[in-house]
């Protein structure tokens, strides 16, 4: 049992509190009050675990709302977890998609502080008098990362003691999965069938609504988020309690108090008329619910009247609302409720690929894109790695044919007579400009970022082509392409001749559209 952590409890029935999707640090609706609500809900869960003497707490991912929590977020999280540690209750967790970093995770830091234990392919054991529960975990994985994931670290023949006791195996994942969530691209079987261990329960995170089913002999369950992350999450927030009694596994659910979300529907009449006084009267009828709540005023019907949104929000706040939002969902024409609206979701990777094609990048441009997409390259090293790769590319690349681009090559040919000088001029001017590299990286990163938002803005050609990338080189005219040329006084004729000369070439030319000036 070397390197295996074992927590021994005295109780015959082992009870585990399962929570997840706490999203600490979220400033929902840009509200500091809502940020504190997320911490308060998590603190309530931990307090319940201590008061009810749970044997362990399992967190199924997205402890934090993003991968860069503030110092204040970290301090408050440590303050919440410390009493749990003092009570001798282990906090076991995995990394979700919101908080995942490329290398060291926040859970790793908490583990070094003795506040948490990160689950993986080696089990963490909680052992009672009649049963032994072995907890495994896999951090959030996208489809491509799942295909490359190494499951060989899970050992079915691992000797962990527990002689004469009922052995339970529990897997923790942060994924949206079939069959508990129909229609998802991944299934729980994609994970469990790849691991040579028969699991009794799969504790899930990422879905913010409570779900629980039995599949292939194992419980699959989402506890839901501990706070409402959107107005659509109407169900009470809760967490799960799993009881292992030596014969079977049972799951119960306990709700936790959270701030109320109040929706005030207001519908215009059949002519689209709606008076501001009528809106205020409708809001007044909700006065008892508004105080201390997050309030949404939803306007629907036909849109023929202008409504002062900011005034309504201020009116609601003055009645004690913590957050006030007005959603104007009125239509300019009559609403045809029977008409089915089609929504098409585009694959982000496909969108990125299409937009990169429209940029018409050269081989060097695609080299930069590969560096940016490389998961093993940290964001802080992208520029340095790109510069190194491009230097290698330029040192080994044949430029003789690379610059034969219609008007560009013709201009060079007019001024340089022999082919050897064409090659020397191109190579001599194709030096790495760190600003050009950074600017090109920014263009590609903009496309990747926009695809995550499901909307990929197409940059104007002058932003993605030669004009911006070569702005600096446009201001510097070549004195002479011949290495033997002697400096001479600049006569008017000389200046006119210089103006007609082609500019020298930098890396920016390699990223421009074919044939563009």
H/E segment holding residue 133: strand 131-138
Q: How confident is the model at residue 108 (pLDDT cuts 50, 70, 90)?
A: very high
| Mean pLDDT along residues 213-237 | 95
8 Å CB contact between 454 and 510 = no
Give the integer Cα–Cα distance in Å for 179 and 171: 16
Decide if pLDDT at 160 tops 90. no
Token pair 């590299």 in the structure block, residue: 437
Residues of each annotated binding site: 21, 23, 62, 97, 174, 208
Residue-averaged pLDDT of the chain: 80
Which distant-in-sequence residues (6+ apart) come within 8 Å of 129 by Cβ? 10, 11, 12
What pLDDT is attached to residue 269? 80
What pLDDT is attached to residue 395? 77
Decide if pLDDT at 68 tops 80. yes
In the sheet that holds 14-19, the strands lie side by side as 117-118, 91-93, 56-59, 14-19, 238-244, 249-255
Give the CA radius of gyration of the chain.
31
Residues of each annotated binding site for Mn(2+): 21, 23, 62, 97, 174, 208
Decide if pLDDT at 48 tops 90. yes
Q: How confident is the model at residue 411 (pLDDT cuts 50, 70, 90)?
A: very low
| Mean pLDDT along residues 158-176 | 89
Q: How confident is the model at residue 391 (pLDDT cuts 50, 70, 90)?
A: confident
For 449-495, write each residue's pLDDT tens digit: 655 554 444 444 444 444 343 444 344 343 444 444 444 444 555 55
Give the integer Cα–Cα distance in Å for 105 and 226: 22
For 250-274, write each residue's pLDDT tens digit: 999 999 999 999 999 999 887 778 8
- Which of the two residues, 159 and 482, has the higher pLDDT score? 159
Q: How confident is the model at residue 422 (pLDDT cuts 50, 70, 90)?
A: very low
Decide if pLDDT at 93 tops 90. yes
Which distant-in-sequence residues (6+ apart) come within 8 Å of 227 by Cβ? 22, 23, 26, 37, 38, 41, 237, 258
Domains of the chain: 5-255 (3.60.21.10), 261-332 (no CATH), 348-393 (no CATH)
- Which of the two residues, 505 and 331, has the higher pLDDT score? 331
8 Å CB contact between 430 and 505 = yes
Determine which one of 18, 30, 59, 98 is catalytic.
98
What pLDDT is attached to residue 437? 62
What pLDDT is attached to residue 433? 57
For 356-368, write each residue's pLDDT tens digit: 767 767 777 777 7
Which distant-in-sequence residues (6+ apart) come within 8 Å of 363 by Cβ? 393, 397, 510
Decide if pLDDT at 334 tops 70. no
Decide if pLDDT at 402 tops 60. no
Phi-psi region of 328 (alpha: psi -120 to 50; beta: other; left: phi over 0): beta
Residue 457: count of CB within 10 angstroms of its CB? 10
Lowest mean pLDDT among 99-113, 222-236, 263-277: 263-277
Which ranges constitute the DSSP H helices of 180-331?
Answer: 188-192, 276-284, 287-290, 309-318
Give the integer Cα–Cα distance in Å for 90 and 84: 7
What pLDDT is attached to residue 373? 73
Give the integer Cα–Cα distance in Å for 191 and 184: 14
- Model confidence, pTM: 0.65
Q: Is 448 a catalytic residue?
A: no
| Mean pLDDT along residues 276-282 | 92
Q: How much of the chain exceeds pLDDT 70, in percent?
A: 73
| Mean pLDDT along residues 80-105 | 94
Decide if pLDDT at 322 tops 90. yes
| Mean pLDDT along residues 493-500 | 51
């Amino acid at each position: 049992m070397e390197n295996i952590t074992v927590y021994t409890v005295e109780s015959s029935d082992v009870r585990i509190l399962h929570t997840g999707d706490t999203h600490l640090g979220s400033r929902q609706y840009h509200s500091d009050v809502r940020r504190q609500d997320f911490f308060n809900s998590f603190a309530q869960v931990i307090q319940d675990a201590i008061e009810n003497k749970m044997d362990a707490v399992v967190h199924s991912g997205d402890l934090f709302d993003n991968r860069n929590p503030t110092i204040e977020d970290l301090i408050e999280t440590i303050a919440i977890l410390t009493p749990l540690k003092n009570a001798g209750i282990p906090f076991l967790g995995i990394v979700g998609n919101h908080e995942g970093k490329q290398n060291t995770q926040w859970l790793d830091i908490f583990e070094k502080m003795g506040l948490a234990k990160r689950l993986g392919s080696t089990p963490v054991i909680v052992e009672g008098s009649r049963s032994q529960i072995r907890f495994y975990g896999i951090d959030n994985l996208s489809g491509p990362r799942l295909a490359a994931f190494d499951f060989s670290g899970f050992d079915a023949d691992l000797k962990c003691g527990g002689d004469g006791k009922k052995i339970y195996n529990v897997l923790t994942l942060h994924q949206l999965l079939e069959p508990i969530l129909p229609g998802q691209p991944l299934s729980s079987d994609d994970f469990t069938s790849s691991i040579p261990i028969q699991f009794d329960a799969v504790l899930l995170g990422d879905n913010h609504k409570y779900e629980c089913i039995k599949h292939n002999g194992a419980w699959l369950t989402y506890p839901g988020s501990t706070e409402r992350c959107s107005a659509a999450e109407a169900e009470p927030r809760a967490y799960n309690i799993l009881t292992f009694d030596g014969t079977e596994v049972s799951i119960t659910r306990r709700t936790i108090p959270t701030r109320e979300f109040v929706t005030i529907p207001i519908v215009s009449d059949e002519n689209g008329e709606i008076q501001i006084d009528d809106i205020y009267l409708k809001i007044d009828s909700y006065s008892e619910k508004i105080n201390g709540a997050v309030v949404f005023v939803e306007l629907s019907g036909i849109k023929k009247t202008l409504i002062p949104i900011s005034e309504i929000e201020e009116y609601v706040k003055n009645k004690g609302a913590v957050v006030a939002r007005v959603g104007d969902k009125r239509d300019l024409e009559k609403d045809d409720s029977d008409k089915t609206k089609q929504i098409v979701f585009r694959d982000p990777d496909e969108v990125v690929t299409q937009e990169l094609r429209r940029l018409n990048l050269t081989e060097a441009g695609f080299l930069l894109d590969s560096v940016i997409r490389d998961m093993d390259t940290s964001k802080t090293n992208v520029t340095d790695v790109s510069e190194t790769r491009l230097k290698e590319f330029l040192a080994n690349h044949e430029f003789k044919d690379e610059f034969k681009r219609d008007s560009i090559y013709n201009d060079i040919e007019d001024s340089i007579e022999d082919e050897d000088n064409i090659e020397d001029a191109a190579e001599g001017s194709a030096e790495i400009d760190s600003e050009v590299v950074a600017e090109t990286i920014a263009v590609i990163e903009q496309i990747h970022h926009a695809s995550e938002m499901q909307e990929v803005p197409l940059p104007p050609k002058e932003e993605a082509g030669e004009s911006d990338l070569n702005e600096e080189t446009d201001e510097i005219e070549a004195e002479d392409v011949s290495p033997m040329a002697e400096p001479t006084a600049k006569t008017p004729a000389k200046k006119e001749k210089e103006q007609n000369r082609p500019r020298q070439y930098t890396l920016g030319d390699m990223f421009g559209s074919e044939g563009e000036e």
